[in-house]
Chain A
Amino acid sequence: MATYNKDKVEKALSCPLNRRKFLKGLLAAGVLAGVPGGLLRAVASEAGIVYEGDYQVFRNACPRNCYDTCSIKTFVKDGVVQFIEGAPESSFTDGALCVKGFSYPRRIYSPDRVKYPMLQVGRGSGKWRRISWDDALNRIAQKILEIKKKDDSLLGLGLTKYSGNFGITNYGVEGMMSSLGYTTRFVGTPCWPAGIDAQNYDMGNMWCNDPEDMVDARYIILWGANPAWCSVHSMKFITAAQERGAKVLCIDPVFTQTAAKSDEYWQVKTGEDGALALGMCRHLLDRGMYDKQFVSEHATGWEDFAAYLKSNITVEWAAKKSGIPAAEIVRTAEEFAQAKPATIWIGYGLQRHVNGGATVRAIDALVAMSGNIGKVGGGARYGHLFTWGFNYHALVQKQPEGSKGYLGQTGPKGEFDTGQGAKPAKYSDRAVNINQTARMILEAKEPPLRMLWASCKNVFSQDFDLNMMKKAFEKLEMVVVVDQFFNQTVEHADIVLPVTTLFEEWTENVSYWHYWLSINEQAIKPMFESKSNIEIASMLSAKMNSLSPGSCTFPTKIDTKKWMEKEFNAGIYKLFGISSWQDLKKGPVKAKLASSASWSGLKFATPSKKYEFKSELCATHGHKALPEYMDGRKPYGPYRLLTPHSKFNIHSQFQNLDWMEEFNSEPYVYLNPALAKEKGISDGDMVKVSSKVGQMTIKAMITDNVPPDTLLMYEAWFNKNPYNVQALVDDTPADMGKYKTGAPGVAIHDQFADIARA
């Protein structure tokens, strides 16, 4: 029989010094020397165990596709992240994270993480084998070589990657593909392309004011944006402006949390935002309440735009189209024009329409004619890529000698493609539309798409038309997914490779909204066998070269910290006023801006160097030269289906974590009480939602936050749940996006569906 003194043992356990002393004699005598075949190792010397008293602090940054790109302070003890905080040095992050960010430790240490490279025997069978990295890479490399042999090119190998991790070194995934040869790339962005093109036509670039200068605004319109959920750090600047007397108007088909915090809310008819903006423009024109100096000296095409407004637009027409009473339009247009400065935050939601680009151009025009472009506290705020001037060292890789590829026209490979890197002399990658991924896989010929590599991307959750996607995947000979969790894409993979979280890799991050730069230090060892994207690339290259020397140019040995360093350059250092990336260890820094206002010098980047109410370039690209009203998509079902963002997740990340599940345990379709009554649906009833591309059975929740003609389902990936809004959303393109991102956007909010009790 054994006895023990619990207090005594625990006292010894709790203190490093006592731990060493407890068995000192026995340890010295080697009594506990390893048992043959055992796992645990003897500590070589006492120095082998690091006894740390206080926390080690690391600098990190949230790399998700989110306005806020928070600067993070990470507290590590015993090699384990204990907790994280928002960095206080950034006046944007300001010491706090969002509900998702604070949950990061639950993510790093979730038992649900993909831990090892694994092979599925029969795609979708659920029969998984754990394989070594070497085995996994061997299978992948063999397949790549087989494709090359069969097709005499690697166009049969496709890459789909988007915004799952915006850390700069993660562009090494694209680099890995280039280092193999010319491949098929899914280009474009489902997020914001129509608006990017629109702002490029109007001003020559997408360039927003510093969001922190919203405190100086006297009137703020939050148009199709829900920062109370999706950019929580921006809210403090909006609130501060309100406290200083600014009026905040929220325009959205859905009564959002942001709407609740605004002074006024307009429930616009979905997709009719352009009509509303043009109605306001017409009224300001009639009243002469526009900036005559701006429109004559700093803009082109004003007369044509004014003529268009006079002959085509009336306030009454705008009221009828948008559902906002004429008197309200008139009053608000005047208030907006009289407030100096006034600003509009153009949300990404309102451009996810077949008329999305035209809508953004109409809103830009309203901000421009009211004289608010180039003003501190003003501006047509959409986003920017002003701080993204890194070397893209990981991205820029050369194709192996003699690689063959695509012969045809090429364009940018997404909004972050700066055109850097070696220009292919003859061949190029084959670019296909990321917003029609399923269709592109099915239609690709000569050669067909044989193999798909997905990284930083949950294809099944984020790409459109789920049923078509399932068919498309059947056509693929091999699917490799690099991910952290077992989502619906991993379910359909042959091989899954575990990738590091942000705390397990070196990189750097900037935002497309604010102007801060953060270093992302590796704070802990990677859990299990996870590797960063660039480590995976170097390991694949080593394998490729061992099987077929010269078949991959990616360096086979890399130091990930050095690769983080290699992304910096003199331009970045100058912009941020630092002498070395090491300065970022003290905390994030903000770009040294001449003004918080974009376009403060009123020198635009358009062909005319002026604001272009009339853009010939836009006309050349097949659109209207003027920001004319464009009809929305013709309804093909009885109710509009909206699939916006929830506060518990960013796309398919975070909702699977236990903390989120506790607050938001299951998905719903939200509908208005009037519609619920008509359909005999009560709260909690199971209902069937069906569209022309698919259907879903789901619980209903009744709320008057959504209009009576609308069904709302938040896009999300729920763990162990087949819920997927893409089962109902088709891949119809938005009007714009091809110019700057390589492919048009997608009309995510121009979708229609029916609902009935299940």
Chain B
Amino acid sequence: MDIASLTLGALRDFFIGPDAESLEAAIRRLAALGGLSLEHQDWREVEYDFNRLFVGPAPPAAPPYASLYLENEPRLMAESTLRVRHFYQMLGCISPWQDALPDDHLSLELDVCIMLRESLLNVCDHKLSELYAYFMAEHLVLWVPAFIEKVLNQSNLTRPIAGAVHLLADWLESERSWLAPAVLTRDLSRPAVQLTGR
């Protein structure tokens, strides 16, 4: 796997991390890849912050599901969620949590990106690259920047979360160069938010 895929893999595991230990493990992988500097951190505090932002039980500040950013009346398991499911089906894939966890959870979407990137490294297939370009341009870039902005607008963000979100933004930015010019007209610029953290 190339560095981008490895980074994506760590981000994927971060955004679906169930506890402090898995969040720390994912951040350590990102640090080892050179994407983040690892500082002394109370990982339990990161876990509380993570749940406040992405999980609950209080209404999460930035839930990591595409449909909430794409639908006119945002809800989980919406039309756009099922389109993502259908996209997975096109690739012969299925979420292990289908019908329980929405298919458009950020981590599942990063997972399919890794799969497509890695497959494209092995086989040069136009249809495959077409699908990846389509998924990036017509789906991911339409919601992930808004998600990133929502996270970065939060006050008191813990540093590892801010760092992970910035790496996600960096990756999205880097994929721009690969996408077709028509797509470049979309505003993929990083949100104008200063990196702050605690």
Could you tell me which A residues sit within 8 Å of B by CB distance?
1-6, 8-9, 12-14, 16, 19-20, 22-23, 26-27, 31-32, 34-35, 37-43, 48-49, 78-80, 105-106, 108-116, 118, 121, 126-132, 486, 490-491, 496, 524-529, 658, 719-720
Instruction: Report if A9-B92 is in contact (Cβ < 8 Å); known contacts: A130-B51, A486-B59, A719-B59.
Output: no
Q: Which residues of B contact A (CB under 8 A)?
A: 1, 5, 9, 12-13, 16, 18-20, 44, 47-48, 51-52, 55-60, 63, 65, 68, 73-78, 81-83, 85-96, 98-101, 107-108, 111-112, 114-115, 118-119, 122-123, 125, 127-134, 137-138, 178-181
Contact A2-B90, Cβ < 8 Å, known A79-B99, A486-B59: no
CB-based contact A12/B90 at 8 Å:
yes
Q: Which residues of B contact A113 (CB under 8 A)?
A: 56
Q: Which residue of A22, A37, A106 is within 8 Å of B75 (Cβ)?
A: A106
Tell me how far the C-beta of A31 lies from the nearest C-beta in chain B, rounded to whole angstroms: 5
Contact A111–B57 (Cβ < 8 Å): no
Contact B180 A2 (CB under 8 A): yes
Q: Is the CB of B100 within 8 A of A527?
A: yes
Chain A residues with CB under 8 Å of B51's CB are: 118, 128-130
A residues near B127, Cβ cutoff 8 Å = 22-23, 26
The interface residues of chain A lying within 8 Å CB-to-CB of B128 are 23, 26, 31
CA distance A719 to B118 in the complex (A): 44
| B82 contacts across to A, CB distance below 8 A | 78, 80
Chosen A-B contacts, 14 in total, with CB atoms closer than 8 Å, are A27-B91, A35-B118, A38-B115, A40-B96, A109-B75, A109-B76, A111-B65, A112-B56, A126-B58, A129-B47, A486-B58, A524-B99, A658-B73, A720-B59
How far does the Cβ of B118 sit from chain A's closest Cβ, in whole Å?
Answer: 5
CB distance from B79 to the nearest CB of A (A): 9
Contact B75 A105 (CB under 8 A): yes
Known pairs A13-B87, A32-B93, A35-B115; A118 contacts B73 (CB<8 A): no
Measured between beta carbons, the chain B residues less than 8 angstroms from A34 are 115
Q: Can you add 6 more A-B contacts, CB < 8 Å, to A2-B179, A35-B118?
A: A35-B115, A80-B77, A111-B76, A128-B52, A525-B100, A720-B59
In the complex, are the beta carbons of B99 and A129 less than 8 A apart? no
Say yes or no: A39-B107 contact (C-beta < 8 A), given A22-B90, A111-B76, A486-B58.
yes
Residues of B within 8 A of A14 (CB): 86
Report B-chain residues with C-beta under 8 Å of the C-beta of A6.
Answer: 134, 138
| 4 closest Cβ pairs, A-B complex | A2-B133, A112-B59, A525-B99, A109-B76
Q: Which residues of B contact A111 (CB under 8 A)?
A: 59-60, 63, 65, 68, 74-76
Asked if B60 and A130 make an inter-chain contact with CB atoms under 8 angstroms apart, the answer reads no
| A118 pairs with B56, CB closer than 8 A | yes
Complex CA gap A694/B56 in Å reads: 30
Q: How far is the CA of A111 from the CA of B82 in the complex (A)?
A: 16
B94 near A40 with CB under 8 A, answer yes
Distance between Cα atoms of A38 and B96 in the complex (Å):
11
Least Cβ–Cβ distance between B58 and chain A, in angstroms: 4
Which of B57, B112, B133 counts the most chain A CB atoms within 10 A?
B57
Q: A105-B75, A126-B52 are known contacts. Are A40 and B108 too (CB-CB below 8 A)?
A: yes
**Least CB distance, B55 to chain A, in whole angstroms:** 6
Task: Give the CA-CA distance A40 to B137 in the complex, in Å.
Answer: 21
**Least distance between A135 CB and chain B CB atoms (Å):** 10
Bound complex: CA A114 to CA B55 (Å): 8
- Kindly state the separation between the CA atoms of A23 and B91 in the bound complex, as whole angstroms: 7
Which residues of chain A are within 8 angstroms of B48 by Cβ–Cβ distance?
121, 126-129
Q: Using Cβ atoms and an 8 Å threshold, which residues of chain B touch A2?
A: 129-130, 132-133, 178-180
Closest to B87 in A: A13
Contact status B57-A496, CB under 8 Å: yes
Q: Which residue of B lies closest to A30 (CB)?
A: B92
Q: Please indicate which of the listed interface residues A2, A20, A524 has the most CB atoms of chain B within 10 Å of its own CB.
A: A2
- In Å, the complex CA distance between A22 and B126 comes to 12
Known: A22-B127, A80-B82, A527-B76. A27 touches B92 (CB 8 A): yes
Given A39-B12, A130-B18, A529-B100, A5:B58 Cβ within 8 A: no
Distance between B57 CB and nearest chain A CB, rounded to angstroms:
5
